Structure 1
Amino acid sequence: MIRAAFAALLALMALPAHATQIDQVTSPGGIEAWLVQDDSIPFVALDIQFKGGASMDADGKRGAINLMTGLLEEGAGQRDATAFARAVEDLGARLSFDASDDTLSIGFQALSENRDQAADLLAQALREPRFDDTAVERVRSQVQAIIRSEATDPNSIAAKEMAAQAWGDHPYATSINGTAESVAALTRQDLVQAKNRVLARDRVVVGAAGDITPEELGPLLDRILGGLPEKATAPLPDKVEPQLTGGVSVIDWDSPQTVVSFAGPGLAIDDPDYFAAYVANHILGGGGFSSRLMTEVREKRGLTYGVGTALAPGLFGDTWRGGMAGSNATTAQAIDLIRAEYARMAEGGVTEAELTDAKTYLTGEYPLRFDGNSRIASIMAGMQLMGFAPDYIDTRNDRVEAVTADDVARVAARMLDPDALRFVLVGRPEGIAE
């Protein structure tokens, strides 16, 4: 599973290299937000993140927060689902709600002239969701359909098995969707309790961008969030280390191909070696066709259409993961090559040419993915979730440029142990011993 914090990190790695003015705003009610003001278009975007997300599910109620999140746009106050959707549409606004392992996230976009009315609708959705029976059953059916689909998808099966092995009894170990049985058993009261476990002012971070001043943003924050409880009704999960051990797990699946998921320990974003690992990952498997794994496994031998790796930091735990798919007959060879490339980097580091190419790419693509107020708002919220200072956006490329070959060698020797890699295979691979 790719967690929200990981997604936020990807956005953070795409900020522009020029100075950006960030205003740190505190509302009259004490709600904090970071704002990038831009008056060029009469439009404002907010990204609202509640820490904990679906990891806040109560024991025995897995899937409750995910289901509850899907119902926040299905009517509020006196408006049923149809009337609520029409009211949002009439304002030309957009509200979106999503849950992940790390956060419950809300997107808010509105024209400047309608932002107060749109804010009132969002506030009502957060304070007074209806959880009507018809809406609950409709969204429950959608979630059940996703659960059934995942049960027949080799990639989802591999991801779930890897999560179960990595995280033990932590919420990360299970799908935010829950199981068919846990979702079927959820009641309206469970949804109300789930809301109170995660939607509270002590859990929120807010990013804002667009046509709004700091003086205007404060009251808008209180308008949207001021009616929520001051504190959530449950504590955040503890941060944990992954419990992965080296080796191979095979899940029998009748297919001519095997899906391969592999993972080892990762690094937290505040780890001093994080940026060295970020560069190392690009060279190892994160750089597409320029990466070592793609060269060895695909280009030279044609064992897969694609293989890659990624750092996956989360609010509560971190891994360094990868994946591919290939024929049953050649999966064992591909795994040997992956282990060999981990060992080669751990023992020999990288060349100066590889380092220069990686840093050129990572710094050069930095501003190209930065566009729109909604993206900026998401970045502002992500920075706060990750604990970055406001000047991060002006120092990010300097941190990449500061990485040396010795730094990469150090972090590779520390983290890239081929014997510590756990592989989960879904298929009928040949020549594999579990």
Structure 2
Amino acid sequence: MKRFLAAFIAILIALPAWAEIEIQDVTSPGGIHAWLVEDHSIPFTALELRFRGGTSLDDPDKRGAVYLMSGLLEEGAGDMDSRTYARALESLAASFGYNASDDSVSISAQFLTENRDDAVDLLHTTLQKPRFDQDAIDRVRAQVLSGLRSEQTDPNDIAGETFARMAYGDHPYASNGKGTIDSVSALTRDDIVDAYTGVFAKDRLYVGAVGDITPEELGALLDKLLADLPETGKPIPGKAQVAIAGGITVVDFDTPQSVALFAQKGIDRDDPDFFAAYILNHIIGGGGFESRLMQEVREKRGLTYGVYSYLVPKDLASVYLGSVSSANDRIAQAIEVIRDEWHRAATDGVTQAELDKAKTYLTGAYPLRFDGNAQIAGIMVGMQMEDLPIDYIATRNDKVNAVTLEDVNRVAADLLDPDGLQFTVVGKPVGLETTN
């Protein structure tokens, strides 16, 4: 228990001030590349492994295989069944976490220095010799199916899936990465094994490490852990052809409050105007109670408890999304106000006062992301996947501050598309019907 408590405390302890974070570029003797923040103040290390591709690697008729596979990695490996594996992990006071998204599969590991070798041995067994026992498959499958059934009655999930089908056509983004009830029910152990072999390969691997470990020790760890991975995995799909026509799509659903997902074309993360778009979105709908949408839709008119917008630059497509919910007899007015605000920002832009306030918030909030070893390891892996420079943490706020009012208003005029704004409404909205 004491060792577990020590590990838990270590996870919560932040490194020195974010501006002082020094990232080292490490290459193992076997050629595995990683970024490292070395800190020996506590005997603890966080390791983040991320494999590009994610649930988008599923075959169309095997949707949900990667997601189910990722949930099975902690259900036994080597000669350990699920219970034996869980006891081994607990005895090391270590933590392993697994996550599958549209674009990646992540493995997050945290361990004490005194148990590093044993923890890496266990993680290696996890990666190289997963069991995929049938009883574990059936148990985790049941959990996934329960979640999918719940999503069928959630207006937000219904809106998201309806929009995805319209926007992404036959691309994997068009369907739920968790699969459908039919596809998950039909998955076999062979399908799970195929998903496993497609995901874990060196050609899509990104690594971040933070804590009590030297570059030489990290290099040896990476070779021990990852050197025997295959060189290549399953091909990653091509870019999605996003089709957002504008208008309204109504999905009839018996609920006293309608949910609306609104969307338009987005902007890629590597676009030179991304920071201007990022600040623009903060002003429009990403800035909480200070955003224009919250002021106009909630504060002035009382049409909703919350309305938000956010940029979504995925690996294979970029969209600009937002969400709002309101009573069935008021959702039409909320949508009208959102369209008006979209048009106002596109034609009139934002003010210098709004820009200054957004910059102050965004630069001040940025250091709060670096609140622990595991969080920093994850951020570094995300930076690598987005092809950001190794000094990005130190220079990011400079990029925010460099954006001018002219930049933001030019991007507002170019990016915002009031006529192309698509609303997917789930509920029984009064005065709304499908227009596209």
Alignment partner, residue 173 of structure 1: 174
Amino acid at match of 2:47: L
CA distance in 2, matches of 1:42, 1:30: 26
- What secondary structure does 2:139 align onto? helix
Q: CA deviation at 1:17?
A: 5.6
**TM score, norm. by length of structure 1:** 0.95
1:17–1:397 contact (8 Å) kept in structure 2: no
* 1:88 maps onto 2:89 in alignment: yes
Deviation at 1:405, TM superposition (A): 1.0
CA distance in 2: counterparts of 1:109 and 1:130, whole angstroms: 22
* Shift, 1:316, TM fit: 1.0
Question: 1:249, CA displacement in angstroms?
Answer: 0.4
AA aligned opposite 1:424: T
1:137 matched to which residue of 2?
A: 138
The answer to whether the 8 A contact 1:263-1:320 is kept is: yes
Contact kept in structure 2, 1:27 and 1:219, CA below 8 Å: yes
Instruction: Please give the per-residue CA displacement for 1:193-245, whole angstroms capped at 9, x wherever unaligned.
Output: 1111111111110011000000100111112212211111x211112242111
Q: CA deviation at 1:16?
A: 6.3
Distance 1:281 1:41 in 2: 39
Write the letter of the residue equivalent to 2:432.
I
| Distance change (3 Å), C-alpha of 1:390 and 1:350 | same
Which letter maps to 1:323?
S
Q: Could you tell me whether the CA contact under 8 Å between 1:264 and 1:319 is conserved in 2?
A: yes
**Where do 4+ consecutive residues of structure 1 move more than 3 Å?**
none
Instruction: Indicate yes or no: 2:104 matched with 1:103.
Output: yes
- Contact kept, 8 Å, 1:35 with 1:209, in 2: the verdict is yes
Partner Cα separation in structure 2 for residue 82 and residue 433 of structure 1: 53
How many angstroms apart in 1 are the aligned matches of 2:17 and 2:350?
A: 27
**Equivalent residue, structure 2, for 1:428:** 428
Asked whether the equivalents of residues 369 and 375 of structure 2 are also in contact (C-alpha less than 8 Å), the reply is no
Q: Tell me, in whole angstroms, the C-alpha distance in 2 between the residues paired with 1:48 and 1:178.
A: 24
Q: Determine if contact 1:77/1:125 at 8 Å carries over to the other structure.
A: yes
Partner of residue 302, structure 1: 302
Q: Is the 8 A contact 1:58 1:194 kept in 2?
A: no
Conservation of the 8 A alpha-carbon contact between 2:169 and 2:241: no
Separation (CA, whole Å) in 2 of partners of 1:242 and 1:17: 37
Aligned to 1:431, what secondary structure does the other structure show?
Answer: coil
1:17–1:354 Cα change, 3 Å? farther
Provide the residue aligned with 2:250 in structure 1: 250
After TM superposition, list the pairs within 5 Å mapping 1:216-227 onto structure 2.
Answer: 216-227=217-228
CA RMSD of aligned residues (A): 1.1
How far, CA to CA, are the matches of 1:136 and 1:304 in structure 2?
Answer: 42
3-state SS in 2 of match to 1:121: helix
Contact 1:241 1:318 in 2 (8 A): no
Identity value in percent: 57
SS at match of 1:262: strand
Alpha-carbon separation, structure 1, partners of 2:390 and 2:17 = 13
Distance 2:147 2:159 in 1: 16
Are positions 1:28 and 2:25 aligned together?
A: no
Counterpart of 1:325? Answer: 325
TM-superposed deviation, 1:37: 0.5
Answer yes or no: is the 8 Å Cα contact 1:123–1:227 preserved in 2: no
Aligned position for 1:354: 354
Q: How does 1:142-157 map to 2 (within 5 A)?
A: 142-157=143-158
* Partner amino acid, structure 2, of 1:138: R
Normalised TM-score (structure 2): 0.95
Contact kept in structure 2, 1:276 and 1:403, CA below 8 Å: yes
Equivalent-residue separation in structure 2 for 1:389 and 1:338 (angstroms): 36
Distance in 2 of aligned mates of 1:16 and 1:420: 43
Deviation at 1:59, TM superposition (A): 3.0
For residues 223 and 150 of structure 2, what CA distance do their matches in structure 1 show?
Answer: 40
List alignment gaps of at least 5 residues for structure 2. 1-15
**Aligned counterparts of 2:26 and 2:404: Cα–Cα separation in 1:** 37
User: Does the Cα contact within 8 Å between 2:303 and 2:326 map onto a contact in 1?
Assistant: yes
